[in-house]
């Protein structure tokens, strides 16, 4: 079955440590996205990538970094510079050709807790 996987489901880190969240998709989608979800704030876009080796900052990119070396993978690093990293992180992807390019498919999410 095609889909998006995120691992791990729960992640715990000490303050001051960088942590990388995994996102893999086998939908052959070109575009991938990272969102942050906090209570009462909906989903906010962190970074997005339209094609391999290219990505753009979203609305809340400070303290985060990404890479897009493979079409299937879009890992997100939460750096120690992110002031409030504890949140639920969602990865999504969408096609750019055929289908509906505006419909995003989501992974199951990773809950990151930093203490």
Partner 1 sequence: AQTVTQSQPEMSVQEAETVTLSCTYDTSESDYYLFWYKQPPSRQMILVIRQEAYKQQNATENRFSVNFQKAAKSFSLKISDSQLGDAAMYFCADRSRDGGATNKLIFGTGTLLAVQP
User: Which of 77/105 has CB closer to partner 1?
Assistant: 105
3 state SS of 114: strand
Site residues for partner 1 per CB under 8 A = 31, 33, 40-45, 48, 50, 56, 58, 88, 90, 92, 94, 100-106, 108-109
Task: Please report how close the Cβ of residue 110 comes to partner 1 at its closest, in angstroms.
Answer: 10
User: Which of 12/108 has CB closer to partner 1?
Assistant: 108
Task: Please report how close the Cβ of residue 28 comes to partner 1 at its closest, in angstroms.
Answer: 17
Task: Please report how close the Cβ of residue 13 comes to partner 1 at its closest, in angstroms.
Answer: 20
CA distance 18 to 78: 6
CA distance 70 to 82: 25
- Of the candidates 19, 26, 103, 23, the one whose C-alpha atom is nearest the C-alpha of residue 65 is 19
């Amino acid at each position: 079955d095609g889909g998006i996987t995120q691992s791990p489901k729960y992640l715990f880190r000490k303050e001051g440590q960088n942590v990388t969240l995994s996102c893999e998709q086998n939908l052959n989608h070109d575009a991938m996205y990272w969102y942050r979800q906090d209570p009462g704030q909906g989903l906010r876009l962190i970074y997005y990538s339209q094609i391999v080796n290219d990505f753009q900052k979203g609305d809340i990119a400070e303290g985060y970094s990404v890479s897009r070396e493979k079409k299937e993978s879009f890992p997100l690093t939460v750096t120690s510079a992110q002031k409030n990293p504890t949140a639920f992180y969602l990865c999504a992807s969408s096609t750019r050709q055929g289908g509906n390019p505006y419909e995003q498919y989501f992974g199951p999410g990773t809950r990151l807790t930093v203490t």
